[in-house]
Amino acid sequence: MTFTPGDKYKTFAPIDLPDRQWPSVVIDKAPIWCSVDLRDGNQALIEPMGHERKLRMFRHLVELGFKEIEVGFPSASQTDFDFVRFLIDEGEIPEDVKIQVLTQAREELIRRTFDSIRGSKQAIVHLYNSTSTLQRRVVFDLDKVGIKQIAIEGTKLVRQLADEMPETHVQMEYSPESFTQTEMDYACEVCTAVMNIWKPTEDNKIIFNLPATVEVASANIYADQIEWMHRNLPDRHLILLSLHPHNDRGTGVAAAEFGIMAGADRVEGTLFGNGERTGNVDVVNIAMNMYTQGVDPKLDFSNINEVVRTVEYCNQLPVHPRHPYGGDLVFTAFSGSHQDAIKKGFSALKKSNSELWEIPYLPIDPADLGRNYDAVIRVNSQSGKGGVAYLLEEDYGIELPKLLQVELSKVVQGIADATGKELSSASIFEVFESEYLNAAGDVEFVDHQTTIDPKAPERRKLTATIKHAGAETVVEGVGTGPIDAYMSALTDKYNLDLKVNDYREHTTGFGADAVAVAYVEMRGGDGEPVFGVGRHANIVTASLRAITSAVNRAAT
Ligand SMILES: CC(=O)SCCNC(=O)CCNC(=O)[C@H](O)C(C)(C)COP(=O)(O)OP(=O)(O)OC[C@H]1O[C@@H](n2cnc3c(N)ncnc32)[C@H](O)[C@@H]1OP(=O)(O)O
Ligand SMILES: CC(C)C(=O)C(=O)O
Ligand SMILES: [Mg+2]
C-alpha cells in the first residue's frame, strides 16, 4: 500500500472572490501596530518573562514607537495581573500609548481582566473565542449558534463592565480565534453580533482582529479572506480591521503585507516573530520592508542591535544570524561575485552624488539600522578579489590595481582553502604586507639620492644604498626619472630581465599622516606580470621600495 499526502491532508478550499482588488494595491502608509510580545510572545516562551524582563520589554516597545501594546493575559496568571497593575499604578504608560489585555469569553476571566485595568486612562479589552469548524467540533462540541452565543455573552459582559468603569476609555477588540479556518459568512455573522452589542462609534471604533491562529494556507488566501471581510462587514467605518498572522508555513510576513493590501488597518505581531510554534508575524520585518519601499513605518529600528539585545534578553531565545534585518550576517557577503558587485556599487554611489540607495545585494543601507559597514564584506574560501580589495581599501586605504587584486586574492584564497576559516581584514593586510611591502629577497632598499645629470639635464642620476644579502652597497643609474634610474642601476648590478610595464601611486591619510603607496607591474622575458608595492611618506621612496619588492618577488 503506498501512502500519498492527499490521504492525510486536504487542500485548502480557495475563497470565492473573483473580483479581488488587493493584488493591485500598493502599501503607502503604515498600519496601526500592536505589539503582542508580552502576551502571545510571552505565552510561547520556555520560561515566561518575569516582572523585570516584562518591564524592560514594555519600555523598549514604547521607545520603538508602539502605541498599542498587549501587555498580558491578566486573568491567566498573577505575574501578568500584577504587571498590568504595576504599569498603571506606577504611571509607566505614556499618554499616547494604549495597553491591551486579552481574555477568554468566560465570566470570571472577564471580571478579573477588568480588575486589572482599573484606574487606567484607556485600555483595549481583547475578547476571543474560537470559531473554526475544527474547534467547534473538537474543543467546544458546540454548533454555530452555541459558539456565537459565547461571543455574545462575553461581549455583553465587556459592555456592562466598561459602562461601569467610565473613568477608563475602554476600546473593544474581538477575535474570532482560528478565523482562517472559519467559514467567512459565519465569521462575519459572529463579528456582526458582537458589534450589535458593543455599538462602536466613530470615536471608539471596534477592533476586529482576524487571526491566522495557525497558518494553514498560502498568503494570497489570507488576503482574500481579509478582503472578503473588509467588503462584507457592516458599518466598516466603525471598524478597525486587524491582522494577527502566525508563521506556520513561513509566510506570515507575506500574509500581513497582502492583508494590508486587502484593507486591514492594523497588525498585531512581535519583534523578530517570537510566538507560538513558528512564531507570530515579525513586525520588524514588515516595518523595514515598508521602509525599503520609501514608506515611513512609524516604528524606529535605527538601532537594531539594541532591539536584538533586548529581545534576546527578554525572551531568552537567540535571534537567528540570518533573520531579516536583525541577524548578525544579513549585511555580510562572503561570495566573490557579490563582493565584487557591492564594491562597484559603493564606488558608483560615491561618484553619483545621489541619495538614492542602489547597491547590488544590499537592499537596505545597514547604516539605517545603526549597523556599520565593517561586516558587509567578509572573506573566506568563497570570496574573490573584490572582497579582498574592498577590505584593504576600506580599512587600510590601499587601492590595489586590478591585476594585483587577482594575484593577491589567489594567495588569500589559498590560505582560506587550507585553513577552512574566515580571514579577517587584519590578517589579509598581514598577507599583503609580507607578500608585497616586505617581500623577502636579496635586495633591501635603504636610501637614495637623485641629482640632475649635468650632461643631460632632462635625465636623473640616482645613487641608492641597498643591502645585498645583509651587506650595504651603493648602486647608480641614470634615467628619465628616479624609477627609470633605479631600474637601470639594479639591472646593471643583477643583470635583470625585467621591464616596468605599469606604475601607479596614491596617498592614504591626510596632512602630516599622509603616506604614499606605489605599485609597479613588471614583466620579464616570459611575459608574466610581477607586482611590487612600496609605502612611504616620501613618494619617491615609496616607488623605489615598490621596485625593490617586485625585483625580489620576481627572483623567487
Ligand atoms: C491562540 C491564542 O494564543 S489564545 C490565547 C492562549 N493563551 C493562553 O491560554 C495563555 C494563558 N491561559 C491560561 O493560563 C489558562 O488557559 C487560563 C487560566 C486562561 C484558563 O485556565 P483553565 O480554565 O484551567 O483551562 P483551559 O484554558 O484549559 O480552559 C479550557 C476551557 O475553556 C474553554 N475555552 C477556551 N477558550 C475559550 C474562550 N476563548 N472563551 C470561552 N471559553 C473558552 C474551553 O472550551 C474549555 O472548556 P471546558 O473546560 O468546558 O472543556
Ligand atoms: C488570541 C488570538 C488573537 C491569538 O493569539 C491567535 O488567534 O493567534
Ligand atoms: Mg496568536
Residues 144-190 pLDDT 10s: 999 999 999 999 999 999 999 999 999 999 999 999 999 999 999 99
**Is the pLDDT reported for residue 511 higher than 90?**
no
Q: How far is the CA of 38 from the centre of ligand 1 (A)?
A: 18
- Residue type present at position 332: T
Q: What is the pLDDT of residue 469?
A: 80
Indicate whether 455 pLDDT > 90. Answer: no
C-alpha 245 to ligand 3 mean position (Å):
7
Q: How far is the CA of 153 from the centre of ligand 2 (A)?
A: 19
Name residue 114's amino acid: F
270-320: pLDDT as tens digits: 999 999 999 999 999 999 999 999 999 999 999 999 999 999 999 999 999
CA distance 377 to 375: 5
| Statement: residue 64 has pLDDT above 90 | yes
User: What DSSP element (H or E) covers 474?
Assistant: strand 471-479
> How many whole angstroms from 117 Cα to the centroid of ligand 3?
21
215: Cβ contacts below 8 Å, ≥ 6 apart: 180, 222, 245, 246, 247, 248, 249, 251, 252, 255, 278
pLDDT at 513: 87
Minimal-distance CA residue to ligand 2 atom 2: 177
- Which ligand is the nearest neighbour of the Cα of 130? 1
Atom index in ligand 2 nearest the CA of residue 209 equals: 3
pLDDT for 329: 93
Give the ligand at the shortest distance from the Cα of 273: 3
Looking from the CA of residue 128, the nearest atom of ligand 2 is: 1
Ligand 2 binding pocket, CB closer than 6 Å? 40, 102, 128, 175, 177, 209, 211, 213, 244, 246
Indicate if the pLDDT at residue 1 is higher than 80: no
321: helix, strand or coil: coil
Ligand 3 centre to CA of 81 (Å) is 19
Q: What percent of the chain has pLDDT over 90?
A: 90
Cell of 201: 462609534
457 pLDDT band, cuts 50/70/90, is confident
> CB pairs under 8 A, 24+ apart, for 506-515?
506/399, 508/396, 508/397, 508/398, 509/397, 515/542
From the list 480, 448, 477, 451, the residue with the least C-alpha distance to 465 is: 448
Condensed to tens digits (0 to 9), the pLDDT of residues 516-549 reads: 999 999 998 888 899 999 999 999 999 999 999 9
Asked whether the predicted pLDDT for residue 484 surpasses 90, the reply is yes
**CA-proximal residue: ligand 1, atom 18 (nearest):** 76
Instruction: Give the pLDDT confidence score for residue 319 in this predicted structure.
Output: 96
- Note the pLDDT of residue 442: 87
pLDDT at 556: 80
> CA–CA separation, 348 vs 350, rounded Å?
5
| Per-residue confidence band for 116, with pLDDT thresholds at 50, 70 and 90 | very high
3-state secondary structure of 501: strand
pLDDT bin (cut points 50, 70, 90) of residue 10 is very high
Q: Which atom of ligand 2 is nearest to the CA of 246?
A: 8
315 is in an annotated binding site: no
Q: What are phi and psi of 119, to 5 degrees?
A: 95, -10
Scan for cell 459602562, then name that residue. Answer: 163
Ligand 2 centre to CA of 211 (Å) is 6
Q: For position 456, what pLDDT does the model report? A: 79
Ligand nearest to the CA of 180: 2
Predicted local distance difference test score (pLDDT) of residue 79: 96
User: Are the C-beta atoms of 409 and 502 separated by less than 8 Å?
Assistant: no
Cβ proximity of 97 and 142 under 8 Å: no
Give the separation between CA 211 and CA 281, rounded to whole angstroms. Answer: 11
CA distance between the termini of the chain = 70
Is 323 annotated for ligand binding? Answer: no
Atom 5 (ligand 2): residue with closest C-alpha?
A: 40
What pLDDT sits at residue 2?
80
Find the mean pLDDT for residues 54-60.
98
Residue 142 clears pLDDT 90, i.e. is over it: yes
Residue with the bigger pLDDT between 451 and 100: it is 100
Average pLDDT, the chain: 95
Mutate to test the pocket of ligand 2, among 71, 75, 128 (most ligand atoms within 8 A of CB): 128
pLDDT in tens, 84-94: 999 999 999 99
375 class by beta-carbon count within 10 Å (0-12 exposed, 13-18 middle, 19+ buried) = middle
Q: Which three cell numbers stand for residue 81?
A: 495581573
Please tell me the distance from the alpha carbon of residue 159 to that of residue 340, in angstroms, as a whole number: 63
| Nearest ligand atom owner, CA of 211 | 2
The answer to whether residues 213 and 177 touch, using CB atoms and an 8 Å cutoff, is yes
| Secondary element (H or E) of residue 55 | helix 51-64
Instruction: Output the pLDDT for position 278.
Output: 98
| Ligand 2 pocket: which of 215, 244, 248 to mutate (most atoms within 8 A of CB) | 244
Continuous H helices in 379-532: 385-396, 402-419, 425-432, 482-494
246 is in an annotated binding site: yes
The pLDDT value given to residue 450: 87
Q: How far is the CA of 37 from the centre of ligand 2 (A)?
A: 12
Shortest-distance Cα residue to atom 7 of ligand 2: 213
Alpha carbon of 104 to ligand 1 centroid (Å): 6
Nearest CA to ligand 2 atom 4: 213
The pTM is what? 0.87
Q: Do 412 and 431 meet the contact criterion of CB atoms below 8 Å apart?
A: yes
Length of the chain: 556
Q: Three cell numbers at 493?
A: 648590478
- Is 338 part of any known ligand binding site? no
Nearest-CA residue for ligand 1 atom 47 is 140
CA of 46 relative to ligand 3 center, distance in Å? 16
Residue 378's pLDDT is: 87
The angle at the Cα of 475, spanning 474 to 477, to the nearest 5 degrees, equals 150
Residues 410/418, Cβ–Cβ less than 8 Å: no
The closest residue, in CA terms, to atom 17 on ligand 1 is: 76
Which residues have C-beta atoms less than 6 Å from ligand 1?
40, 43, 73, 76, 104-106, 109, 128-129, 139-140, 150, 177, 213, 276
Place of cell 488566501: 221
Residue nearest to atom 30 of ligand 1 (CA): 139
* Tens-place pLDDT, residues 218-251: 999 999 999 999 999 999 999 999 999 999 999 9
Taking the centre of ligand 3 as the mean of its atom positions, its distance from the CA of residue 320, in whole angstroms, is: 21
